[in-house]
Amino acid sequence: GDIMGKNWNIKKKFSPGITNPTIDEIYEKAINAGAIGGKLQGAGGGGFFLFIVNPERKENVRNALSNYRAMSIRITDRGSEIVYLETRN
């Protein structure tokens, strides 16, 4: 998490256009609530923040970012997986 945060701050210095006041506010709220670090993920025009949070701080961070949708993820030893749910009409 700490390395991700350092990387995000370095990236912002080299490419100031990748952030804006809203993105900076989201990042600061998460860090102030207890996130170890984070980084904006995804391609331009969309994407998401990935924050690394100790389990005991998870609810604090969720509450601080309650205006935004949160998703929990799990890190496994199997690599990336795509889960696809087909709905039938």
For 12, residues 6+ apart whose C-beta sits below 8 A from its C-beta are: 18, 19
- In angstroms, rounded to a whole number, what is the distance separating the alpha carbons of residues 74 and 2? 18
Query: In the prediction, which pLDDT does 78 show?
Result: 82
Query: In the prediction, which pLDDT does 40 show?
Result: 84
Q: What is the pLDDT along the chain (89 residues), one digit of tens a residue?
A: 888 888 888 888 888 788 888 889 999 999 999 999 998 887 655 678 889 999 999 999 999 999 998 887 777 788 777 776 677 66
Query: In the prediction, which pLDDT does 33 show?
Result: 97
- In angstroms, rounded to a whole number, what is the distance separating the alpha carbons of residues 72 and 49? 12
Domains for the chain: give ranges and CATH numbers: 2-64 (3.30.70.890)
